[in-house]
Amino acid sequence: MRESDYVPGLENVIASETSISYLDVENEQIIIRGYDLMELARQAGYLEVAGLLLDGSLPGVDEKEALEERLKAEYGMNDAIYRLLALLPKDANMMDVLRTGISSLSSYDPELDDRSREANRRKAVRLLAKVPQLCANGYRIVTGHEPLAPRADLPYSAGFLYLLTGREPSELEARLFDQSLIAYSEHEMPNSTFAARVIASTHSDVYGALSGGVASLKGTLHGGANEAVMDMLLEAETEAGMETLVRSKLAAKERIMGFGHRVYMKKPDPRALLMKEALAELSAERGDDRLLRMCVVGETIVASEKKLFPNLDYYAAPVYHLLGIPTPLFTPVFFAARTAGLCAHVMEQHENNRLFRPRVRYTGPRGLRVGRGAERE
């Protein structure tokens, strides 16, 4: 390996082999185990996609039912975890709360150090059952409210949305939320997935790998962007406000949250188009398309000034707002949706492992001696 091979940010470097997903940017497709993510979002449900990610094939009716049953059996939460979260301050960042919750789950898992596919698969189901509760009830507990009991009588996504809002969602709300979870479910090798795989490659456990994933996803260059988009929309208030705000940010050379992507710089993010449709549907149902019109203003300006496309976060944010999800939970919801994908990556890494241990191009000094500064060398 030559030092000239150094690529900052590993841009376009192939870091792993995987059969889980691939961004076929040229053909504007996100391939998930052979299927187009957009087709999955329109024709399958989140739990089926989770099964596909974990097992490699779309579950049939019986397999889906079995997965639902196993999830319900894992809905319980050790009380000690909620007591631990209650110790956190009221203004704690919800991604930090989620990271603490996921990290603490590890101490209660009897199969923690078993890296076999079967044990990792069972841990993935536990995480799929508990992460939505950690997101929603973590927020409730930290802000001084009682946790809600999960609703085993509701389908998975509808039950998750119930926990987030405290009310049973309509059919349309449940369907669009489910679609958003699929849109967020898996995306090849973003920073958080890479972080999780790097951690798993030391034979560390799935909870540790996912805790690292939460830390990565928190940043505004990654998952944290959906909350930043909502803050921007709330600040702008109107189409005119959006135009002023976006233009002033561009003039100040600030980044507009929800635009640009390391992989989709020259092509649109198909997931953003899906969520734009969801926003249009929800706006029509509510009889209020203000947020949609504001988003279109921002999209038009950024396209003409910077030639950048919106990413998934840009349109997911107003959809989540209209669904009644509190803004501090937007990024935790993104993570919850990514749970199945991340678990699949950890399983794949454990089964076909090569420790990640790259080298550096050293730019520091050499030859310093203890007690003698560099200037005296």
Which residues are the active-site residues?
261, 313
Say how far apart CA 74 and CA 127 lie, in whole Å.
9
Q: Least Å distance between CB 127 and ligand ACO?
A: 20
Q: Least Å distance between CB 190 and ligand ACO?
A: 6
Q: Least Å distance between CB 149 and ligand ACO?
A: 31
Q: Least Å distance between CB 231 and ligand ACO?
A: 13
Residue nearest to ligand ACO (CB): 260
Tokens read off for 6: 């150094």
Count Cβ atoms below 10 Å from residue 248 Cβ, excluding itself.
10
Say how far apart CA 368 and CA 375 lie, in whole Å.
10
CB 308, CB 260: distance < 8 Å: yes
Q: Least Å distance between CB 301 and ligand ACO?
A: 11
Is the CB of 208 or the CB of 223 nearer to ligand ACO?
Answer: 223
Is the CB of 294 or the CB of 312 nearer to ligand ACO?
Answer: 312
Q: Least Å distance between CB 273 and ligand ACO?
A: 14
Residues in the chain: 377
Is the CB of 218 or the CB of 350 nearer to ligand ACO?
Answer: 218
**Beta strands 21-24 and 35-36, pairing class:** unpaired
Q: Which residues bind ligand ACO (CB under 6 A)?
A: 220-223, 225, 255-262, 306, 308, 311-313
Q: In a 10 Å sphere around its CB, with 0-12 CB exposed, 13-18 middle and 19+ buried, how is residue 215 labelled? A: middle
Is the CB of 70 or the CB of 262 nearer to ligand ACO?
Answer: 262
Is the CB of 144 or the CB of 304 nearer to ligand ACO?
Answer: 304
Is the CB of 106 or the CB of 220 nearer to ligand ACO?
Answer: 220
